[in-house]
Amino acid sequence: MAAAFGTVFMPEMAISWFDGKSWSPAEMVPSDKLTLHPGAHVLHYASTCFEGLKAFRHEDGSVAIFRMDRNVARLAQSSRLLALPAIDEKQVTDMIIQTVKRFAADVPAPPGSLYIRPTHFGTEPAIGKAAAPSLSSCLYILVSPVGDYFAGGDTALRLLLEDDGMRCAPHMGMIKSGGNYASALRPTLEAKAAFKADQILFCPGGDVQETGAANFLLIDGNEIITKALDESFLHGVTRDSILTLARDLGMTVSERQLTVTELLERAAKPGCEAALSGTAAVLAPVGTLIHKGKEHPVGSGKPGATTLKLRKALNDIQWGKAEDKHGWLTRI
């Protein structure tokens, strides 16, 4: 059996430290250890954010990174919103390229890829700073070769609709930060145990938002409906890419509020589809919504044709099989 997603790491990573004044020149160091003071800010007050993006091997042997500018900009935004030291976007871009180049020969062929995990966190040894930022920090680029996300077959996911609890505090939604996943974990485990749900779809106050680590899209005929961008949820690069490709294909994209009531009404129609979007899976079909103890199949309850078509359209660009019209790839 293949290793679980994200459990195999390349032996080196690019790293840089901020000492309160400047970033150290990036270095390649072993990726299996890191020395931190036990009082480091991140270990107590969760001053940490990360990114997830991928590099792909093309048939001509070249390697291309997908929408790196978006992920670097989001890391800068997460760092800003967490009051971490400002990152140097040019340096982080160079560190990503340096790390991917170092392991270019090990980038798996499609449907595999090299998953890239830039990580930034506060290192100041100061446990009295519960309400003050870390003045020093560390940023590294960890990379992990990953296989086919759908190796076990394309099963449609089961989502529990949660209309009371939240994934995270609303002002933290657009930050890709560790604490948000810790916050969503216990309810997600409870949903698994009670309903065999794969994920919770958080719908605070009846407003359909997102799951623990992916955005939600409803596909009704020629229309895609998904929540409009606001502070409360993570602005996925995959979400943006899929919506762009859907517009290219002549679909209607509605970024607006979607209520649980409307979702369940539409999902009951034959031909309706739903999907989760994120870098790891691209687009994962949703087959069942569970609400107040009742199961609602989405359309046929099976992976939808439009979902698979959109996923293929995006994979084809990533894999170098379709023209990169929007300039999403950085060849290294």
Ligand X SMILES: *Cc1c(COP(=O)(O)O)cnc(C)c1O
- List contacts with ligand X (CB under 6 A): 52, 176, 210, 213-215, 234, 236-239, 277-279
- Supply the minimum distance, in Å, between the C-beta of residue 20 and ligand X: 29
Rounded to the nearest 10 degrees, what angle do helices 68-81 and 89-102 cross at? Answer: 130
Rounded to the nearest 10 degrees, what angle do helices 237-248 and 305-318 cross at? Answer: 110
- Supply the minimum distance, in Å, between the C-beta of residue 37 and ligand X: 28
- Supply the minimum distance, in Å, between the C-beta of residue 126 and ligand X: 28
DSSP at 2 = P
Our CB check for ligand X shows the closer of 67 and 291 to be 67
Our CB check for ligand X shows the closer of 47 and 277 to be 277
Our CB check for ligand X shows the closer of 57 and 176 to be 176
Sequence-distant (6+) residues with CB within 8 A of 1 are: none
- Supply the minimum distance, in Å, between the C-beta of residue 213 and ligand X: 4
d(CA 199, CA 211): 6
d(CA 199, CA 278): 14
Our CB check for ligand X shows the closer of 237 and 263 to be 237
Our CB check for ligand X shows the closer of 12 and 51 to be 51
Our CB check for ligand X shows the closer of 97 and 280 to be 280
Residue appearing with tokens 């998953």: 115
Tell me which amino acid residue 203 is.
C
d(CA 163, CA 291): 9
- Supply the minimum distance, in Å, between the C-beta of residue 263 and ligand X: 18
d(CA 200, CA 253): 24
* Cis ω for the linkage preceding 145 (within 30 of 0): no
- Supply the minimum distance, in Å, between the C-beta of residue 228 and ligand X: 15
**Token code pair at residue 38:** 């036990």
Our CB check for ligand X shows the closer of 18 and 115 to be 115
- Give the count of beta carbons closer than 10 Å to the beta carbon of residue 60: 7
- Supply the minimum distance, in Å, between the C-beta of residue 132 and ligand X: 26
Our CB check for ligand X shows the closer of 225 and 234 to be 234
- Supply the minimum distance, in Å, between the C-beta of residue 177 and ligand X: 9
- Give the count of beta carbons closer than 10 Å to the beta carbon of residue 303: 22
Residue appearing with tokens 């929007």: 326
Q: What share of the chain is helix, strand, coil (3-state, %, to 5)?
A: 30, 30, 40
